[in-house]
Structure 1
Amino acid sequence: MIPRDYQIRAAEACAAAWSSPSGGRHPLLVMATGTGKTKTALFAAQGTRGRVLWLAHRKELVHQARNSLWYDRAQSGVVMANENGCDKRIVFGSFRTLSQPKRMEEYLKHGVPDLVVVDEAHHSVAAENMKVLQPLIAAGARLLGLTATPDRDDDLSLEDLWVPVFSFGFVEAIESGFLMAPYVAVERIPGFDETQVGGRRDYNVDELGEKLLAAHVVEHTVGIMGRTLTAHRMPRKDDSTQMSADGRHALVFTATVEQAQLTAKALCDVGWRAKVVCHKTPKRERDDILVAFQKGHINAVCNPAAYTEGVDLPECDLVVVARPTKSRTLYVQMIGRGARINAGKRDTMVIDLAGASEMHSLISAPALIGGSRCKTFPGGVHQFVEVDGKAKCECGARLPCYASLEAGAGGLHTWVDDSTTGRRTCKHCSKPQCKDSPSWKHEYTPIAGHRRQCMWCDVIVPNPLASLQSGERQVVEPPEPAAWALLHTLRDPVEAINLDEHGIIYLVGGQKRATPVWLPRRAKNPRPLTDGPVERWHAEEICADLIRKARKAWDPWKREVLAGGSGGDINRAMDFRRYAAVRAAETGVSEWRR
């Protein structure tokens, strides 16, 4: 294998991460579907002298990784179901098999692995998978995670285990010529309303299937696949063209097996050569269908999410999304099946029958934001009690204002100025923002160490803009008695939006090109989310994805506030302020402007 430039950079990033303190977190490669995550990880692991363990949650992923190995194949084996090559130096295994104590014990008899590669690492923090990883970590194994979608659809946190060290996203892959930009046509199912379908993380599958069939999704699917449609280039939708499904190789994603079976039959009735693949399809039959699809004997495969992971079908040039989904991860995996480049493949078409392309973006921020599950009480739900006016849970989570929590305002102070006295207090608990200030307001001035201190009391908070400056910080001397700190010598225009407890997003640059930068609340230095300036729309999409992650990770009691439209700056998703940054803390809100 001759590695591509970005694969070399990814391997170098892993080596650098392994050689430096990580605080118990392990390197994560975030790479778009179809850019060669498997071979990148195998390349990064090639220099490992000790044992290597490759873990995946699906048998297709295990065999795909083993088949991609181009070195030391005689020293490799599989540990899964009836296969037991646990004495080999390089072992490809499934989480399910190695979660069995006897199988793990037998593997470890031959030595602790020096490196553990976790494929589709967004699944890794599930309880059954952590049972496999925890003893390996305790034994000193290094970890390397791979994912195209650094998200979860529940409240479990990825950031306690992983830290992104390299990213190669969808846009970068298209611009570099390694992926093909799909063209999407949205043709919604008449009379279907997904808001009437239940489900918390995603739609209830059985209920969704019933309502889709009642809305005649099969007839609509077949009818639309027989028409010429106007399709727009993804992800920016900056170009459009007329396209049809005729002569293409299609993957049709359905909600249920029944929908897949009915759709395949209806397609065959109008001349398509269609088959169904689902979780019940025997492996040999599934393999035969894949080969037939690759050779053109079959030109449509209908499946209820069976081909979202672990399948490489570059021949696919038509993706039909015949179901809605709340899961961005599932959406990206479906679209990614058609983005691979293949000889003779001119373009890729996506037919979206449920508006998923209007809900989700293909652009992901290479950043992890923790979930909000309580680690003490069953069900992961915090139970707060009042302690000195604050809300505290036994797990350690706390909020500054219990009265605000009781009022449904998220547990944060809401500072208001009295129209008569001008003094600033919390409208929920009446606590003064600064009891030593004549106006009861904090008035900050910059101090050393990228911090600011109130002129009236001893409150010290971070000064996040300082880390984006070039040269010495210049402040008006003596400090003016106002809540403004004047900053000079910024390299570029800076715009920002507050994510409250998750930090601040900056856009550094102009209206044509900008660099998205994230400053987590407890971090000392900002983290660029791209290798350098990118087009403005691209930078804004990355920022929007980080905002989405923050909103999803928002604690459940705050999530209700956000849904009601009163969550503060986080709701003004793309409302960036030029030359300004806003930071919320327990002591209140302060602003800096150039």
Structure 2
Amino acid sequence: MQPEEAERKELYNYQQQDIDAIFEKFEGKPNNYHLLYQLPTGGGKTVIFSEIARRFIEKYGRKVLVLTHRIELSKQTSQMLNGFGVRNTIIDSAVKDLPQDNDFDCYVAMVETLNNRLKDKKFHMDYVGLVIVDEAHYNSFRKLFTYFKDSLFLGVTATPLSSNIELPMYETYDELITGEPIKALIDKGFLANAAMYGYDVELTSLKLGINGDYTVSSSDELYSRTIMQDLLLQSYVARSSGRKTLIFNNGINTSLYVYETFKAAGLPIKHLDNKTPDVERKKILSWFRKTPDAILTSVSILTTGFDEPTVETIILNRATRSLTLYFQMIGRGSRKLPNKDYFTVIDLGNNAQRFGLWSDPVDWHYIFKNPELFLENIRSDAEIESYHVYTMTDELRAKFANTLDVTFDVEAEFRQATDDKEKPKVVIEKSIRQHAFMCIENSETVSEARKLARELDGDIEYRVKQYAKLLSKTTKNYREWLVEDYKNRLSVMIGRIFHKVKDNDDEDEDIELNKLN
């Protein structure tokens, strides 16, 4: 099976230097030596290992095997190898036998297919001298290693952190060699720079699964909420309107909600997930490629093996505790074009606060040697959110134009209550009172004031969270009750004092209003 040949790629200096360094590492090493090579997404890993395959075959006269985990990657790799003049074939489910005297110098194989053929003793690969493992952080490749005890191994990945904490990469690979970091590739003009915009998101409802990342069900529940859909749409309009945008979600339900939300707003959007039929998928990707302002909302399918340089915005409409996934998602927008020096990243999952900015330096050698410690020290959601400060959007602030000061210092009020030997609940009462006056003085009727109060949900939740933290020991159920009770009491207070404030019939109320302003 021979795909059409790809155009021969010219090697950049840093790529040539890394290739030379890899061959230096191989010199004098025993068979079954395993080397891991790290290079950021967009740095040209496929180009590099295709040239390594060509040079290895030429230098040692032995064959090369490239392992991939997806058929799309197999096809792309085969085309790239063709471009380097490497005679290769794809071993897929249609290949049932492989004669030992075949004319190919290189094989590109899916893990499961090759494993089945080797177990059935249909293939004999003693003549393979180098095994190249693409996306080496996946663990499905390990089952094949026993068949190649007389071969050198080169694992290639953007993130040398195993997808399974129980199978750390230092147990599979003898040594790690790193290529150019993201910042250097940006500075040298090989990658576009990322303009990153984050929005503080409350993630306490998310649950962790057995794989260490957030569960699909809890993510769907959070990101399908109206408040999150509104935040997504508003952030898109503010930061990416009219630009080609790729949205990553954790669940199919969320992505479908996103599709309906954007479609209702009259925006050009399509949905794609791993259940989308191949024919429809190809049509959608073709549409996305050709449409300048296209929006594609997706789930678990475009993080690897997808290359569309014209993407201008990446939206992380999900939270993840996977460093690999974080880099993979953002990397989809990093391809450089003559008219594309920057791309936009909108983070709706506190991900940059968890891992740092995309272009920040990363000590991959430390992570490779100490993956358990690295994972243990990833910032928790509670720690991240403890630094969040609620700020009204300009749009919301305009609705309270008649109020000079909309802030309320919960901590200062709590200290004051303690000094005055008052019960802590007085803090909540003062906060409710201030919110009531804010709504009243910016409304003409009670119903308008109560409607305006519903716009304060974010501010209310933030104030209650600050108050609960000062109480030290509170349960999640109690905090949720506090929020609901706050909203109910706010509605009651608006009704109780609305006419007194508007008619200035109560001198005390009028004085208090002036104090609050």
Change (3 A) 1:342 1:55: same
Q: Indicate the residue corresponding to 1:134 in structure 2.
A: 146
In the alignment, which residue of structure 1 is the partner of 2:253? Answer: 258
How many Å apart are 1:93 and its aligned residue? 0.9
CA 1:84–1:298 in structure 2 vs 1: closer, same or farther (change >3 Å)?
Answer: farther
Provide Cα deviations, 1:383-408, integer angstroms capped at 9, x if missing partner. xxxxxxxxxxxxxxxxxxxxxxxxxx
Quote the residue 1:319 is aligned against: 314
Task: Give SS of 1:351's match.
Answer: strand
Cα distance per residue 1:135-184 (max 9 Å; x no partner): 11x2x111111100111252321112222123222111111110011001
- 104 and 272 in structure 1: CA distance in 2 versus 1, 3 angstrom threshold: farther
SS at match of 1:367: helix
Q: Matches of 1:551 and 1:188 in 2, distance apart?
A: 26
User: Which of 373, 378, 401 is the equivalent residue of 1:551?
Assistant: 373
Equivalences for 1:102-117 in 2 at 5 Å?
A: 105-108=121-124, 112-117=127-132
Matches within 5 A, 1:173-184: 173-184=185-196
Asked if structure 2 preserves the Cα contact closer than 8 Å seen for 1:275 and 1:298, the reply is no
**Alignment partners' CA distance in 1, 2:291 and 2:95:** 32
Give yes or no for contact 1:158–1:368 (8 Å, CA) kept in 2. Answer: no
Distance 1:295 1:85 in 2: 40
Q: Does the CA-based 8 Å contact 2:186-2:193 persist in structure 1?
A: yes
Q: Give the structure with higher Rg (CA).
A: 2
In 1, are the aligned partners of 2:33 and 2:152 still within 8 Å (CA)?
no
The amino acid across from 1:183 in the alignment is: A
The corresponding residue for 1:66 is 78
For the Cα contact (< 8 Å) 2:32–2:153, is it kept in 1?
Answer: no
Q: Which has the higher contact order (CA 8 A, sep 6+)?
A: 2
1:31 corresponds to 2:26: no
CA distance in structure 2 between the aligned counterparts of 1:167 and 1:104, rounded to whole angstroms: 38
> Which range is displaced more, 246-255 or 68-77?
68-77
Shift of 1:102: 5.0
Q: Which residue of 2 aligns with 1:118?
A: 133
Q: CA deviation at 1:295?
A: 1.5
Pairs within 5 Å for 1:121-520: 121-123=136-138, 126=139, 128-136=140-148, 138=149, 140-153=150-163, 154-162=165-173, 163-189=175-201, 192-194=202-204, 196-200=206-210, 201-214=212-225, 216-227=227-238, 244-296=239-291, 299-361=294-356, 362=358, 363-367=361-365
- What is the alpha-carbon distance in structure 1 between the residues aligned to residue 317 and residue 128 of structure 2? 43
Tell me the alpha carbon deviations over residues 223-256 of structure 1, each in whole angstroms, 9 at most, x when there is no partner: 22112xxxxxxxxxxxxxxxx2022111100111
Decide whether the 8 Å contact of 2:31 with 2:151 is kept in 1: no
Change (3 A) 1:135 1:23: closer
What is the letter of the counterpart of residue 551 of structure 1?
L
Cα drift, residue 120 of structure 1: 0.5
Distance of 1:302 and 1:83 partners within structure 2: 35
Q: CA deviation at 1:369?
A: 5.2
Give the match for residue 474 of structure 1. Answer: none
Alignment match, 1:97: 113
Long gaps (5+) in structure 2: 1-8, 384-517
Q: 1:369 to 1:345 in 2, by over 3 A?
A: closer
1:296 CA drift (Å): 1.7
- Corresponding residue of 1:590: none
CA displacement at 1:101 relative to structure 2:
4.0
Q: What is the aligned partner in structure 2 of residue 478 from structure 1?
A: none
Partners of 1:354 and 1:24 in 2: how far apart?
41
Alpha-carbon distance in structure 2 between the residues aligned to 1:72 and 1:178 = 21
Q: What TM-score do the two structures reach when normalised by structure 1? A: 0.56
For residues 41 and 34 of structure 2, the distance between their equivalents in structure 1, rounded to whole angstroms, comes to 21
Asked if the contact 1:293–1:300 (Cα under 8 Å) also holds between the matched residues in 2, the reply is yes
Pair 1:552–1:22, CA change in 2 (3 A): farther
Change (3 A) 1:122 1:4: same
Partners of 1:135 and 1:51 lie apart in 2 by: 15
Residue 51 of structure 1 is matched in structure 2 by 63
Counterpart CA distance in 2 for 1:120 and 1:251 is: 22
Deviation digits for residues 321-375 of structure 1 (CA, Å, limit 9, x no counterpart): 00111111111111111111023324200111121111113333231656xxxxx
Shift of 1:28: 1.7
Deviations 1:273-324 (CA, angstroms, capped at 9, x unpaired): 2111111122232223222222226711111131111111111110000011
Judge conservation of contact 2:51–2:84 (CA < 8 Å) in 1. Answer: no
Q: Is the 2:42–2:335 Cα contact (8 Å) retained in structure 1? A: yes
CA distance in 2, matches of 1:353, 1:171: 23
Q: Aligned residues: percent identity?
A: 23
Q: Which has the higher helix share?
A: 2
CA shift in 2, pair 1:78/1:211, >3 Å: same
Do the aligned residues in 2 keep the contact of 1:62 with 1:94 (CA within 8 Å)?
yes
Q: 1:55 Cα deviation (Å)?
A: 0.4
Aligned position for 1:581 = none
Judge which range, 88-97 or 313-322, deviates more.
88-97
Cα distance in 2 for partners of 1:182, 1:9 equals 26
Aligned partner letter, 2:347: D
Q: Matched residues in 2 for 1:317 and 1:193: separation? A: 27
How far apart are residue 72 of structure 1 and its match? 6.6
1:57 Cα shift? 1.1
Report deviation, 1:50: 2.1
Contact 2:192/2:342, CA 8 A, preserved across alignment: yes
Q: Does 1:13 align with 2:18?
A: no
- What stretches of structure 1 of length at least 5 have no aligned partner? 228-243, 371-501, 503-545, 566-594
Deviation digits for residues 43-65 of structure 1, max 9, x if unmatched?
Answer: 11112132211101122211121
Distance 1:551 1:12, change over 3 A: same
Residue by residue over 1:198-224, the C-alpha shift from the partner in whole angstroms, topping out at 9 and shown as x without a partner, is: 335111112221222236422321122
**Structure 1's 23 and 79: CA in aligned 2 closer, same or farther, altered over 3 A?**
closer
Following the alignment from structure 2 to structure 1, what is the Cα–Cα distance between the partners of residues 32 and 106? 24
